[in-house]
Structure 1
């Protein structure tokens, strides 16, 4: 059966962040993920996760100045020291939260940056992250993100582009973070794409399209696709990274069979 993790950055936003752990547990979730916990100490976040008895299964390394539009540092040649300090911080949080995977966002290098230099920077930072994380049995995720709707200019937008970076880095604990919403926009043909990349997938996320709301609000046949993932042998967590259309709990009818 598909195992769902609530994304606490996008769900239960009716509540302050630290109160969302208990709300997710009360709604039936056994696991959570989120964008970034760094506004709070690792101990504060861990306390809430333990009290709610939910696993923390994924969060991001510090992505830079999110409010100003930055979306990661991995491929930014002039931000290497900051990126690596962020990786070290993320691993400290992951250890406190017993979280087994971290997403290293590549960012938006911009047209003024030499693409080859950006690529080499991303590979070097990825190797740094993977080697540091591997000491603690933590996997590093690479997520292709759509550049048509959500993050124009993001460094990679397809599975092939992300896996090219992973292959160049040459680290076994680098995995693909497959977001169904992003891949519907950029690639489509979801079932064949999932089957092709399944050996490399370390985490799955979902949202419907268009709108990035809960399953059942858009064009993706999620009952079929979730069964397909299950039958294909994917037994990892599926992060619910969507913006509820009309309240988190009110929109959880689609998830009832899995919670």
Structure 2
């Protein structure tokens, strides 16, 4: 049976960051994932310690975490291609790998940035993938929906990009995003499901919990297991 986790950032947006792991534990989850949990790309050591402590104290497993994605509220979705943000990108990667060393998450979702994938973005993503592989971890490339000019919107886009980045990169298949973008999710699962590094889900329309929309999420999860996917399935819904 594929293991289940919950994304505490989207699930508990009104709960302070340091209280979210415990909230997940109280709701019966033993594993969590998180968007970037700090207000800046380069948090102070005390901030990192506090986040690590909140996960440890709650007794849950952190399986995945986003790298810093920029000003998400303003529409940024990654800073890899911004020539002004090199230090932030490097700081975020270093902090993520430190959290990985201390808490064990093996996957770091890395948003590529809005607009064409320029050489600078590809170079930074390759650097991150290489560093992650050396640490026994991977960055994740995720097709997104609802973001104008985001360059990775289909599973084929993500697999092609990861193919250039090497073994330190893997594809995050968010079934909600794929479905909303018009992807044939059944075909993706049948042909590449076993190659996915991580899976997330929410229902559509509305990005709500499973059963609130029309997506055949239970059938898709069963199909993933049937083709040999043995990774996590994380609930990433409002």
TM-score under structure 1 normalisation? 0.83
Does 2:25 align with 1:30? no
Structure 2 counterpart of 1:98: 104
Deviation string for 1:77-100 (max 9, x for gaps)? 453443233222222222232211
Secondary structure (helix, strand or coil) at the match of 1:15 reads coil
Task: For residue 76 of structure 1, report the CA deviation from its aligned partner.
Answer: 3.2
Q: How many angstroms apart in 2 are the aligned matches of 1:14 and 1:81?
A: 30
Deviation digits for residues 7-47 of structure 1 (CA, Å, limit 9, x no counterpart):
11111335322222112112221110111112472221221
- How many residues align? The count is 232
| SS, match of residue 10 in structure 1 | helix
Residue 82 (1) aligns with residue 88 (2): yes
> Which residues in structure 2 correspond to 1:59-208 (within 5 Å)?
59-109=65-115, 115=116, 118-146=117-145, 150-169=146-165, 171-208=166-203
Q: 1:121 to 1:196 in 2, by over 3 A?
A: farther
Query: What are structure 1's unaligned runs of at least 5 residues?
Result: 110-114, 244-259
After superposition, give the CA deviation of every residue in 1:146-179 in whole Å (9 maximum; x if it has no partner).
1xxx21121211111122222222x112100000
| Counterpart position of 1:13 | 13
- Using the alignment, how far apart are the partners of 2:137 and 2:236 within structure 1? 21
Shift of 1:182: 0.5
Matched, 1:239 2:238: no
Render the CA deviation track for 1:215-240: whole Å, top value 9, x for unaligned.
Answer: 11111112222222222221211111
Q: Distance in 2 between matches of 1:232 and 1:198?
A: 7
Query: Tell me, which stretches of 5 or more residues in structure 2 are unaligned?
Result: none
In the alignment, the residues of structure 1 paired with residue 160 and residue 227 of structure 2 have an alpha-carbon distance, to the nearest angstrom, of 24
Q: Is the 8 A contact 2:139 2:169 kept in 1?
A: yes
Say whether 1:230 aligns with 2:225: yes
Deviation at 1:211, TM superposition (A): 0.5
Displacement of 1:136: 1.3
